[in-house]
Amino acid sequence: MDEVLLRGAGADICLTFDAPVSRDGLRRQVAERQAALAAAGLRRGGSAALCLAPSLALVANLLAGWRIGAQVALLDHRLTAFETEQALGRLETQVVVSAEPVGSGPARGFYEQKDVARGRPGGRPARTPHALIQLSSGSTGPSKIIGRTAAGLIAEIDRYARIDGVPGAGERIVSMASMVHVLGLVGGLLHSLHAGVLLAFPRRTTGEGILSTVAAGPEPTTLLGVPFHLELLSWVAQPPPLPQLIGMTTGGELVRPQVHDAFTDRYGIRLGSMYGMTEVGVIATDLFGENRPALAPAPGMTVRESGGELLLAAEQSPYVGLDDPSRWSGGWLHTRDGGTVDPDTGLVRVLGRLDSQVSVGGLKVDLTEVEHTLAALPEVAAAVVVFGTSIEAYAVLRESGTAAQVEAGLAERLAAYKRPRLLHVVDRLPRTATGKLVRDPAVLRDAGRAAHRPSAQEQADRKENTPDVH
């Protein structure tokens, strides 16, 4: 992997954190970390886990581990100490690289990390041929351990090079996507190093901080992030003129039409979408918005629809220690996403998670439709809709919004059987490390500090089900 990523003219700037980093400078950093990892006991065929915040240290340790020939696992720095220890127990890595916690200050795009590599008692060498181990986002349940081989990563890097609209040599990417997850790792870091793209990280991941990073360089610039970052950029009252800003690419979740239109109207640039999974990386794209809401399969990717689910051709299961034919069987990976594939054009339409399709009184309800309708209301800043014994909604309201206004708006837009029976008004919604909204009902139940407010529909149901007393 390091031969693919570290080659190139030594004086060329490849990364920008607080200061620019040349390829020669990166090679020196990698050599230093390689020595430290070896001193901690890491050998070819061994295993290491990186528990680091976004930083030059994270990049250098990852490449150093691969240069040694070890398997490297990436753990998000925002995990609690308990969660990190649980993950390390599952992974059983031999060496752990960590640094002091970064604290809970203003959101930042990168940090200075004084990293330390230590041997982990009881750690084991790599038990699979994977070069990279990642944990799934955990947005709908416990994380899965996912392995990627060096050949698979190189094949994905090659896919990026063949996708029209992906930044190339002499251009720049300003990335807000986490480097420990697939969009920021492969679409940001690995692609940029391989293709000669300058990769920059904003000091502050506020709307103003992101735009300031764009303004710091003259190269044609594409933003890389998730829909949450569209919201941050939409809050900027008066964006400055930025002629070098040519586009933005999002992944992770579907972008609601209202959010898409508001962003493109405000910034006047293309807003592209990528559909992918931690298991395989990028699957389909529409970087110019030409096929919206459909996407074209990435080069070399074969997608088909079966029983309303999107399936992806994959020679082997990406799941480590999990033998589940409902996830992978017969050379096909089950995405657990509902969707369609046009038989004439091959264009893919992603309709949301299969678990968003529920039955209410014998009638089918798409929770994605309900959630998008709720989130589009002027009183709502953010929303998640889930299904337990009934449809439940968790909403963050804007300053002037009220639950009564929300319920009235839903009554105008949704049939009664689609409307949430429970409306929870909360101060904030939990998100995964990648910025995805969490849809695990157990996590959502613990998220709100505000008391539950029963919806008008729930009150009506209670009245209907309460016997008259004479």
Residue 467 predicted with pLDDT over 50: no
Would you state the pLDDT for residue 129?
Answer: 95
* pLDDT score recorded for residue 142: 64
In which band, very low, low, confident or very high, does the pLDDT at 387 lie, cut at 50, 70 and 90? Answer: confident
Give me the pLDDT at residue 79, please.
82
pLDDT at residue 111, rounded to an integer: 93
Residues in contact with 149: Cβ distance below 8 Å, sequence separation at least 6, in sequence order: 129, 130, 131
Q: What is the mean pLDDT of residues 124-140?
A: 84
CA-based nearest residue to 223, from 236, 237, 242: 242
Q: To the nearest whole percent, how much of the chain has pLDDT over 70?
A: 91
Share of the chain above pLDDT 90, in %: 63
Assess contact for 261 and 274: CB atoms under 8 A: no
Number of H helices, E strands in the chain: 14, 26
The bridge status of strand 198-200 relative to strand 172-175 is parallel
**Strands of 328-390, DSSP E:** 328-329, 332-341, 348-353, 357-360, 363-366, 380-387
Which of the four CATH numbers 3.40.50.300, 3.40.50.170, 3.30.300.30, 2.40.110.10 does domain 361-464 have? 3.30.300.30
| H-assigned helices in 337-430 | 367-375, 403-413
Measure the CA–CA gap between 388 and 449, rounded to whole angstroms.
Answer: 20
What is the pLDDT averaged over residues 42-59?
Answer: 97
Q: Fold match between 2-350 and 361-464?
A: no
- The per-residue pLDDT for 80 is 81
pLDDT confidence of residue 465? 39
Residues in the chain: 470
429 compared with 38, residue with greater pLDDT: 38
Instruction: State pLDDT tens for residues 390-436.
Output: 899 999 999 889 999 999 999 999 888 899 998 999 988 888 766 67
Q: What is the pTM of this model?
A: 0.81
In 10 A of CB 172, how many CB atoms?
25
Beta strands per DSSP E along 93-160: 95-98, 116-119, 132-135, 145-148
**DSSP assignment letter at 324:** -
Predicted pLDDT of residue 469? 31
> According to the model, what pLDDT value does residue 433 have?
64
Give the confidence band of 137 by pLDDT, cuts at 50, 70, 90: low
**C-alpha span between 332 and 126 (Å, rounded):** 25
pLDDT at 1: 67
Provide the pLDDT for residue 417.
85
In this prediction, residue 4 carries a pLDDT of 73
Rounded CA separation 172/91 (Å) = 35
pLDDT score at 221: 98
- The answer to whether the peptide bond before residue 297 is cis (omega within 30 degrees of 0) is no
For residue 451, pLDDT beyond 70? no
Which pLDDT score is estimated for 208?
94
Cβ neighbors of 246 (< 8 A, separation 6 or more) are 220, 221, 222, 269, 270
- Are 391 and 365 a contacting pair, CB within 8 Å? yes
User: For residue 444, which phi and psi values (nearest 5 degrees)?
Assistant: -65, -35
Give the torsion sign (CA, 374, 376, 378, 384): positive
Query: Which one has a higher pLDDT value, 306 or 468?
Result: 306
Dihedral sign of CA atoms 352, 354, 355, 356 in order: positive
User: Is residue 464 pLDDT above 70, yes or no?
Assistant: no
- The one-letter code for the residue type at 444 is L
Q: Please, are residues 192 and 6 in contact by the beta-carbon 8 Å criterion?
A: no
Q: Is the pLDDT of residue 458 over 60?
A: no
Query: Is residue 424 packed enough to be buried (19+ CB in 10 Å), middle (13-18) or exposed (0-12)?
Result: buried
Per-residue pLDDT of 185-205, as tens digits, reads: 999 999 999 999 999 999 999
3-state DSSP assignment of residue 311: strand
Q: For residue 376, which amino acid is it?
A: A
Please give the DSSP secondary-structure letter assigned to residue 204: B
Decide: helix, strand or coil at residue 281.
strand
Read off the tokens for 272. 């592209």
pLDDT in tens, 245-301: 999 999 877 787 878 888 998 999 999 999 999 999 999 999 998 998 899 999 999
Q: What is the pLDDT of residue 312?
A: 96
Provide the edge-to-edge strand list for the sheet that holds 380-387. 380-387, 391-397, 422-425, 453-454
In the prediction, which pLDDT does 441 show? 78
Q: Strand 391-397 and strand 422-425: pairing?
A: parallel
The domain spans of the chain are 2-350, 361-464
pLDDT digit string, tens, across residues 338-350:
899 999 999 999 9
Give yes or no for a contact between 414 and 407, defined as CB atoms under 8 angstroms apart: no
Region 61-78 average pLDDT: 95
Mean pLDDT of 35-50: 98
Radius of gyration of the chain (CA): 23
pLDDT tens digit string along 346-382?
A: 999 998 778 777 878 667 788 888 988 999 899 999 8
The third-level CATH classification (topology) of the domain covering 2-350 is Rossmann fold (3.40.50)
Confidence at residue 468, expressed as pLDDT on a 0 to 100 scale = 35
Q: Are 77 and 102 in contact (CB under 8 A)?
A: yes
Say if residue 408 is exposed, middle or buried (CB neighbours under 10 Å; 0-12, 13-18, 19+).
middle
Residue 450 binned pLDDT confidence (cut-offs 50, 70, 90): very low
* Average pLDDT of every residue of the chain: 88
